[in-house]
A and B are shown apart, each in its own frame.
Chain A
Amino acid sequence: MNALRESYGQEIDQILAKYPDDEKRSAVMPLLFVAMRKDGYVNKQDLEDIGEIIGRSSTDVASILGFYTLFHDKPEGKYRIQVCNDLPCALRGADEYLDNLCDNLGIRPGETTEDGVVTLEAVMCLAACDKAPMFQVQDYNGVAYHENQTVESTMQLVESWRAEGGKDA
């Protein structure tokens, strides 16, 4: 049966109500958000469930999922550290900072620490150029900025997340 619908029936009905009957496929984005919120990524079953709800193939849903970088299709770190290393930040040492952070975390941009706490990414300008090195954290609760960073300050933050219990916290 449709697992997504079973767990989020009411919310899904509300989402669908916003679209005319013959345009239900437009509900694909909000439905992907629902699935993302569930475990931080969209799994294959979710794709099928959403496809069934909006009457499109799961491949169609997957195309949309793949198009947007902020949707994820596999489990990754609980916290997503997105370091800006665009030109202005690089001039303030973001590149070096990112390199060192990588060494400390033992991963490269795009990878996830073994304990599943952190995924590290290099991104384009986040509009905080004057406070570089900086990054934003994406987690289940939303987005937070951390500015004027050193590797030490960042590692402290990471350690505090780890202390909270990491993945299942």
Chain B
Amino acid sequence: MTEAVENQVEEQAQPEEKLVTLTIDNIEVSVPEGTVLVDAAKKIGVDIPVFCYHPKMEPVGMCRMCLVEVGRPVFDRATGEPVLEEDGSPKIQFGPKLDTGCTVEVSEGMVVRGYTEEVVDARKEVLEFLLTSHPLDCPICDKGGECPLQNLTMRYGPGTSRFIFDEKHHAAKHVPLGEIIYLDRERCIQCARCTRFQDEVVDDPVIGFSQRGRSLEIVTFSDPGFDSYWSGNTTDICPVGALTTADFRFGARPWELKASASVCNHCPVGCNTTVNTRREAKSGGELVIKRMMPRQNEYINEIWMCDKGRFAHHYTQSEERLTQPMVRNEVGELEATSWEAALDLVAEEFKAASDGLVTLAGARLSNEDLFNIQQVTEKLGGKALQNTHMAGGELVASVGVGQGSNLSDLGEGDAILVVASDLEEEAPLYWLRIKQASERGATLVVANPRDTKLSSKANYELRYSYGEEAAAVMALLGSISPKTPGESEAVKKLSRGQEVKDAATAISEANNLVVLYGNEGTGLATSQSLADACANLLVATGHVGKANNGLIAVWDKGNTQGAYDMGLVPSEDLAADLMSAKAAYIVAADPAGDDATLAEAIKAVEEDAEKFLVVQELFLTESAKLADVVLPVQANTERQGTYTNAERRVQIFYPAVPAPVNVHADYAVAANIAERLDLKLQKVIPAQVMAQIAETVSDYAEVSYTKMAEVEEQWPIISSEDVFYGGTSYENEQGMGQQLQPASQGGESPALSFAQVADAPKVDGLLAVPVTRLYDRGSTVVPTELLSERLTPTSVVLSPDDAEKLSIEPDAEVTVKLNGTETKAQARIEAGVPQGYVLVPRSVGIALNSPSPVEIKA
């Protein structure tokens, strides 16, 4: 065994890392210098019990659970030679006291013993101390069954207590730290994993310790309580049942749960998740989703996930789901019908419309769905559109990050440019990974019109005005290669100053460079020039075509990249495209609900008897209400498929619960339509759809379900049978996915166009710009009641100066006059907002696709 283990360890070690060999419980192991004993032991399958140590955080040595005997070889002072025992083995000197395995680093020749009587006694004593103020109410505790305190007590703990039961310490058991996370004070063992996670890992120090000793408790003073997008993770790493989510507490016992692998599609990161389900009497004997947990993927989400991904799954089992195909009858009402009838009608109308078919698909769909939908559209010569306001999918396919990239590899000597993005709001896990890269020493350049949470980590901060996104990147490029053509006023202005020159130098000299662009304040046109500019910068500095270099678009939806790859393009004028349609096929999108202008366009289609509208959806959306035919579909928890994330990693999600009877997956519905158009598409097995994709879409030629399902050994090893270590995040047994090769890595030189650089739009009054908030009011978020208080209200955000000029009080109701519509909204006032601009959060009730003049009235 030892040999095999050594090999693995060596593989993981960086070439320049020095290996240290030591013996733990009589097994020899070689690990990189600086490794702490508990980690070294974990690598050879020896569990040294821990409570406060967590492999993703700095050791603190607070709980003493990890005590072990540590011995070091003795050297002769005079000769410097090791002293030998009589039998010729090196003499080992053990310490006078036990050492904490979580803080002691390995050294050459060290001998560690975790099985001696002294160690076993120490474990018993530490447990006895903890249990004096612990209720041991395992039978009603949510952690029971996956709790290290329970397991270690069973293994090492005393069978009885020497303390008087009546004097047992008691404390409050249902303390809400906000409406999402609950604290059980008497279960807390004061390990500070939760507070350190919030402070060190995610930079939201909104929970902390108060008081001392027995009175110590976790408190929060933020408003709302425990105000963080990451709070759910603390319940995973809390080694006892002290922290629980309101979503799961008292919901089920861990051993009753079934686990299925899934992938989050709320944002383009694509966190690996596990859906825990249970068949329960309470739900009429149905299999229902009890909780969503992270699943380890060190390329993507490590062992974390954000609260949106964790909690916003309730839509999949909403009562409002559509379950039957419907068709509009003679009196103009939607009426249930059979699939046969519905599909026949759809096919007939599509055929009649022929190249007048306009398809609009939402990027929460899987690649398989998008492919089949695109094929149907192509067969008829229609237009296949996706509903995004972000451009650049082809550029990412060409100069995206290379195969083999891992944001965790970025550190000293590397650079990251984040432009036009409020990264934590747009893609929480990318924010975390970029923050960590900057902490490892990567140079971080942040270009944005206002401060975001990432700003505090930036080495260089570049400010530009909304509309000058591309100009800001061109200014960087101009500082590197002065021959950049067509310099606009904006570029000249932004090129001034030392900061931009220094940032440009850092970027051009970086070993590796990753550029992320988001959608802060951009519309489709500005997004295109921004993407062009970023691609130019990468190519000019030679940072394309290799791992850990290239472009990442922080897409507005989970599978936007997949939609681009499947050939769906954004529409420059959706209203016009819809108006021109003879038949419209709208899938997983709700233009009528999103935007009043589009609602008009859809109504026009509906009212025109010649025209035909099909909506394929989970819910009876505003668009569906206007449709001639409505086709119900399965949620992603009920079926299999793949998503392509922003780093072009293609990943499989699996079914967790059965679909409603007679409801099919999107790809199957599309394939059934195709069949009636004499087009053969796969409709039963998603892996076969993928095989067809691999044949048709050259970038996906290598992709297969088998390869995506391959697993790799990951570090840290997070779990084992009974000793908690990394938390309740699931191990990855279902695959790491497959990262696609960008064309530039295949040797193709990228075809680039120079960015159209605009100057900032000039308006007399205020300019409204769209921004992203994580907790929006999208149809997949709203059904989760738990988040209802945290969702962004219908609101606009003003600078303090503008608010004062307009005499607007914080949170006052105002009228927003924008693009010919009037909406009542709450006025928020935020210090970082530049004067003259009004931020309009997307998907909260005010439609705004690109910067537009706005009037705000108190």
Q: Which residues of A contact B (CB under 8 A)?
A: 44, 47-48, 56-63, 65-67
Contacts and interface: CB of A to CB of B under 8 A. Distances in A.
Contact of B219 (A48, A56, A62): A62
B801 to A, nearest CB: 15
A141 to B, nearest CB: 27
B176 interface: no
B209 A66 contact: yes
B197 to A, nearest CB: 14
10 contacts: A57-B222, A58-B221, A59-B207, A60-B205, A63-B208, A63-B219, A65-B210, A66-B209, A67-B210, A67-B211
B220 interface: yes
Contacts of A47: 221
A57 B219 contact: no
Contacts of B208: 57, 59-60, 62-63
Given A59-B206, A60-B205, A60-B208, A66 B222 contact: no
B212 interface: yes
Contacts of B220: 59
Q: Which of A48, A58, A59 has the most CB of B within 10 A?
A: A59
Interface residues of B, number: 12
Given A57-B206, A59-B206, A67 B212 contact: yes
Interface string B535-572: 00000000000000000000000000000000000000
A161 B211 CA distance: 31
B222 A63 contact: no
A65 B537 CA distance: 50
A63 B206 contact: no
Interface string B194-212: 0000000000011111111
Given A58-B221, A59-B207, 15 more contacts: A56-B205, A57-B222, A58-B222, A59-B206, A59-B219, A59-B220, A60-B205, A62-B210, A62-B221, A63-B208, A63-B210, A63-B219, A66-B209, A66-B212, A67-B212
Nearest to B456: A55
Contacts of B219: 59, 62-63, 66
A66 B210 CA distance: 4
B223 to A, nearest CB: 9
Contacts of B205: 56-57, 59-60
Contacts, number: 40
Q: Which of A61, A65, A66 has the most CB of B within 10 A?
A: A66
Contacts of A61: 221
A59 B211 CA distance: 13
A165 B205 CA distance: 43
A81 B206 CA distance: 35
A59 B178 CA distance: 13
Interface string B214-235: 0000011110000000000000
A132 B697 CA distance: 90
Contacts of A56: 205
B453 to A, nearest CB: 13
Interface string B230-259: 000000000000000000000000000000
Interface of B: 205-212, 219-222
B209 A57 contact: no
A57 B205 CA distance: 6
**Shortest Cβ-Cβ A-B pairs, 5 listed:** A66-B210, A63-B208, A58-B221, A59-B208, A59-B221
Q: Which of A56, A57, A65 has the most CB of B within 10 A?
A: A57
Contacts of A67: 209-212
B266 to A, nearest CB: 27
Nearest to A51: B221
A41 to B, nearest CB: 14
A63 B219 CA distance: 8
A67 B217 CA distance: 10
Nearest to A66: B210
A66 B206 contact: no
Given A56-B205, A59-B205, A59-B206, A66 B211 contact: yes
Nearest to A48: B221
Contacts of B206: 57, 59
A56 B208 CA distance: 12
Nearest to A56: B205
Contacts of A58: 221-222
Nearest to A44: B221
A67 B220 CA distance: 15
A62 B223 CA distance: 14
A82 B392 CA distance: 71
A23 to B, nearest CB: 16
Contacts of B212: 66-67
A44 B222 CA distance: 10
A62 B218 CA distance: 11
Contacts of B210: 62-63, 65-67
Nearest to B207: A59
Contacts of A62: 208, 210, 219, 221
A111 B156 CA distance: 42
Contacts of A66: 209-212, 219
Nearest to B199: A60
B60 to A, nearest CB: 15
Nearest to A65: B210
A59 B206 CA distance: 5
A59 B212 CA distance: 15
Contacts of A48: 221
A65 B219 CA distance: 12
Contacts of B222: 57-59
A22 B208 CA distance: 22
A137 to B, nearest CB: 24
B101 to A, nearest CB: 28
A92 B207 CA distance: 45
Q: Which of B207, B220, B221 has the most CB of A within 10 A?
A: B221
Nearest to A67: B212
B30 to A, nearest CB: 40
Nearest to B225: A59
A44 B220 CA distance: 11
